[in-house]
């Protein structure tokens, strides 16, 4: 498996993988994925024999991104790398792809001396993602309630 920077040529595959992860990944259009790549400070994909099998898109603080979850981290922290989305294709889950992507994010975090910020759906529950983030050393730093869902806010120090 190779971890390589994402580009606009990956949009269709990213969108398809993101759709497989709903509702945990959050629905986005292809146009919104392009915008996320423009905002990102780190966006990499995991490729198996040239095929995208998973990806992570991370944002620095204070971009024009309109997510309420992202805004929460901006209100509470000066510096961070925000994991907006991490998604792995259905047929490649539980094969270490997500861990390999997060290893890359943690390395970036250490190189830049910033914590990793992320959130996980609390309602509706996403127990697999909760276990994954706790296993990766994330600590709960808050809960944000939305009209139709609640999310647990996580931070992992560099």
Query: pLDDT tens digit string along 122-134?
Result: 988 888 889 989 9
Q: Determine what percent of the chain falls in helix, strand and coil, rounding each to the nearest 5.
A: 40, 30, 30
pLDDT at position 101 is: 96
For residue 34, being part of any structural domain is answered with: yes
Q: pLDDT for 84-109, tens place per residue? A: 999 999 999 989 999 999 999 999 99
Does residue 135 form part of some domain?
Answer: no
Q: Tell me whether residue 37 is in a domain.
A: yes
Q: Provide the CATH number for the domain around residue 48.
A: 3.40.630.30
Buried b (16+ CB within 10 A) or exposed e, 37-50: bebbebbbbbbeee
Instruction: Answer yes or no: is 126 within a domain.
Output: no
Residue 26 inside a domain? The answer is: yes
pLDDT per residue as tens digits for the range 21-72 = 877 677 899 999 999 999 999 999 999 999 999 999 999 999 999 999 999 9
* pLDDT on residue 21: 81
In the chain, the number of structural domains is 1
Q: Which of 72, 93, 41 is nearest to 152 (CA)?
A: 72
Question: Which DSSP category does 37 fall into?
Answer: H
Only one residue has tokens 């204070």, namely: 62
Q: Is the dihedral of CA 42, 113, 116, 131 positive or negative?
A: positive
Residue 73, in any domain of the structure: yes
pTM here is 0.92
Judged on CB neighbours under 10 Å (0-12, 13-18, 19+), 131 is exposed
Dihedral sign (CA 132, 138, 140, 144): negative
Q: What does the block give as tokens for 151?
A: 């999310």
Examine residue 121 and state whether it is found in any structural domain, yes or no. Answer: no
Whole-number Å distance between alpha carbons of 28 and 76: 25
Query: Which structural domain, as residue segments, surrounds residue 64?
Result: 2-114
Q: Is residue 41 part of a domain?
A: yes
């Amino acid at each position: 498996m190779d971890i390589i920077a994402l580009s606009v040529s990956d949009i269709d595959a990213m969108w398809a993988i993101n759709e497989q992860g709903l509702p945990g990944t959050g629905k986005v259009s292809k146009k919104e994925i392009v915008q996320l790549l423009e905002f990102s400070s780190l966006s990499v994909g995991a490729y198996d024999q040239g095929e995208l099998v998973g990806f992570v898109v991370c944002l620095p603080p204070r971009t024009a991104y309109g997510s309420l979850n992202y805004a929460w981290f901006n209100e509470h922290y000066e510096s961070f790398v925000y994991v907006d989305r991490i998604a792995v294709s259905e047929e490649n889950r539980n094969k270490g792809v997500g861990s390999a992507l997060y290893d890359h994010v943690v390395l970036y975090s250490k190189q830049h001396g910033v914590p990793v910020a992320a959130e996980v759906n609390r309602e509706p529950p996403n127990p697999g993602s909760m276990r994954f983030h706790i296993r990766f050393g994330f600590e709960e730093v808050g809960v944000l309630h939305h009209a139709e869902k609640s999310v647990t806010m996580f931070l992992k120090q560099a």
